Amino acid sequence: MTTLRFQGVLLPDDEPRELWLLGDRVTFQRPSGDWSTASAGGYLVPGLVDVHTHPGCSPDGGFDAQDFAGHCLDHLRAGVTTLRFPGLSASAEISHAHHLPRMVGGGRWLAWSGLSSHAEFHVVVDDLATEAAADAARTGWCKVFCDWDFEADPVPLEILRQVVEAVHAVGGRVAAHAQSGAGAYNAAAAGVDSIEHGMGMPSTAVPLMVAHDCAYVPTLSAFASQVEHRKARNRRRDQTWLAGYQTMIERVRDAHDAGVTVLAGTDRQPFGAVADEVECLIQADLPPTAAIGAASWTARTWLGLPGFMEGDAADFVIYPEDPRTNPAVLRHPSHVVLRGKMIRQPG
């Protein structure tokens, strides 16, 4: 089989290079045998990452393995070669089949029994720390709710501290759902590893996130999809929600400027819409390069995944134009390569 060559500008280094596929790896060394050019002149970006998605899950928390594979392929066609699942059904069977994106983490949707309300998909537990540590030991991650009703009291700080201590003790990381100012503050103060959503997050949470090396995954596009409906209905709760949404938009830039790692997570259907999230991050005033990095190289570094070095895994995406000047092109990759296999190509 002929070796494939790719030539173009590599991001984020902004360097014109040529690389070849060597099995499931990339090499910058010209092979001695035959090769043919698969692509020339585009922009090469390390495989995209959606750090907050729930493929295969139904609203009641059920799981369908066939839907899971279909949703994962929707992501892959959009250039997303790695997925992280902050919360999946307890019955989820994650397929690590080679034709699907790489998978990171899982864990159940763990909700403390002391919260004032719960959703159907929540796994309600009394001992949040023990259950969280069990999930983290199994998958590397756990997902805990720091609040649910955004107008009610969050999980107390002391309980979240116990969660963080127990999960870190087994070498795991904590993804914390927060959608109230008090919940986001407690998550940041407890030292969780990522805050998901962070609606209404107070500015005082930002230095705590920096101190604990906590990433911010605002999932803005999932919230943006509700704005018109909330504005039209305009009940008191909608007004609180809209104010919290405005605050989280401001916090994205604050967090980035303070040195917090801001990452792209979609948390919604249809799957494969990470470009929407990048666009929302740019609208929230994140510099375009940082917003694209949030869905690619920054997320990859955060998860310990390789980029474009000699011998790195061949997961990358090619765009016909520079996504930094035209982010809309992220919706139209010309090529998607996963594990050295061409998933998508022109024609």
Residues at the interface with Zn ion (CB under 5 A) = 267
Question: Which stretches within 140-284 are classed as H helix?
Answer: 157-169, 181-190, 205-212, 220-224, 227-233, 236-258, 274-283
54 versus 251: smaller Cβ distance to Zn ion: 54
User: Quick one: residue 293, left, alpha or beta (phi over 0 = left, psi -120 to 50 = alpha)?
Assistant: alpha
248 versus 336: smaller Cβ distance to Zn ion: 248
223 versus 316: smaller Cβ distance to Zn ion: 223
50 versus 279: smaller Cβ distance to Zn ion: 50
What's the one-letter identity of residue 162? Q
Cβ 52 to Zn ion shortest distance, Å: 6
**Across the beta sheet with 3-10, what order do the strands follow?**
25-27, 15-22, 3-10, 35-46, 316-319, 335-338, 341-344
Distance from C-alpha of 169 to C-alpha of 25, rounded to nearest angstrom: 34
- State the residue number with the nearest CB to Zn ion: 267
26 versus 195: smaller Cβ distance to Zn ion: 195
Establish how many alpha carbons lie within 13 A of residue 84's alpha carbon, considering only the half-sphere containing its beta carbon.
Answer: 29
Q: What is the DSSP string of 282-330?
A: HHTT--HHHHHHHTTHHHHHHTT---SSTT-B--EEEESS-TTT-GGGG
131 versus 267: smaller Cβ distance to Zn ion: 267
Cβ 177 to Zn ion shortest distance, Å: 7
Instruction: Dig out the tokens for 139 from the structure.
Output: 């998958």
Strand partners, 9: 16, 43
Cβ 272 to Zn ion shortest distance, Å: 16
Cβ 27 to Zn ion shortest distance, Å: 38
Find tokens 């014109």 and name the residue: 16
Cβ 119 to Zn ion shortest distance, Å: 11
Name all contacts of 208-211 with Cβ < 8 Å and 24+ positions apart.
Answer: 209/255, 209/258, 209/260, 210/258, 210/259, 210/260
Cβ 54 to Zn ion shortest distance, Å: 6
β-strands 173-178, 141-145 pairing: parallel
42 versus 61: smaller Cβ distance to Zn ion: 61
Cβ 11 to Zn ion shortest distance, Å: 28
